[in-house]
Amino acid sequence: MSSKGNVYVIDDDPTMRDSLDFLLGSAGFNVTLFDTAAAFLSAHAGLGFGCVVSDVRMPGIDGMDLLRRLKADASPLPVIIMTGHGDIPLAVEAIKLGAIDFIEKPFEDERLIGMIEAAIQSADHAKCDAVSAEIASRIASLSKRERQVMDGLVAGLSNKLIAREHNISPRTIEVYRANVMTKMQAHNLSELIRLALRAGILND
């Protein structure tokens, strides 16, 4: 069975860590356990994308400090904070600091699993939106003539045909083509075509 994604559990209570390890592992997630937020932050840079599930009250760096540090690092990892029953003010503060959700202990297993699935899916969509916005920004940086050349390239036209269509020399087209590749950050034509597909200016 393929993994549903990475989950990073941070809790100083070994019983809680083991319980979440079993629960989330059984649900199909790839689980990594940390007994302190400091241990997680030390490993953070080398971790793959996933969802963080952290207790809020821990010795040293607590869940709120963790959120502040991840926010300062512009971390893309969604964070779900586990709070004590009735600790709503703290939960609200956690959301303000960037937590994607919170859950009160004790909680139903399926509720936490559903939250993690939603968090990973939501973050995936956000990453896709960010990439699409970046590509749109690159396209917007093209001059009118560069955009015409790009449209011709991704339509499969040769430099000579593009030159004839716009009544300019093939040598000039080569200059515009080089500018397009640089501004679009494309290393070759196939990469440029993939970017055009992603931006929705070319039908697949």
Task: Give pLDDT tens digits for 16-69.
Answer: 999 999 999 999 999 999 999 999 999 998 888 899 999 999 999 999 999 999
Task: Give pLDDT tens digits for 122-180.
Answer: 876 666 667 778 888 999 999 999 999 999 998 889 999 999 999 999 999 999 999 99
Distances (CA, A) of 200 to 64, 140, 183, 189: 40, 14, 18, 17
Query: Domains along the chain?
Result: 6-130 (3.40.50.2300), 141-199 (1.10.10.10)
CA distance 109 to 157: 56
Q: What percent of the chain has pLDDT over 90?
A: 61
Which residues are within 8 A (CB) of 195 and not within 5 positions of it... i.e. 6 or more apart? Answer: 135, 138, 184, 186
